[in-house]
Amino acid sequence: MIRNYLKGFTHGRIMHADEVFAGAILRLIDKDFEIIRQKNRDDEIPNDENILVFDIGLGKFDHHQENAFLRVSGKKYSSVGLILREFWKDMGLTEDE
């Protein structure tokens, strides 16, 4: 388990580097963390506080919405950037790294 998240969820179909690396980081934190990929585009996106939804769903870890979190440069974070921004301490990193 990663914090209060029991599992992760991301989009299916074509894989992109941002959600692949985001998923890899989550598995580095917890090697048993289950990540589910959406099977069909019309499948419901989980709305459960115990499921970490990333790169889909317009939530905290999705960079596709208009009001996505921005870096100092004004550019949007990718989903892997949003995951790193949230979980860097869980990975054992320090501000110096």
- pTM score > 0.85 for this model? yes
Token pair recorded at residue 61: 């870890």
64-92 exposure pattern, b = at least 16 Cβ within 10 A, e = fewer: eeeebeeeeeeebbbbbbbbbeebeeeee
Q: What is the pLDDT of residue 66?
A: 84
Average pLDDT of the residues in 31-48:
93
Q: How far apart are CA 38 and CA 9, in angstroms?
A: 7
Q: What is the pLDDT of residues 47-64, one digit of tens each?
A: 999 999 999 998 899 988
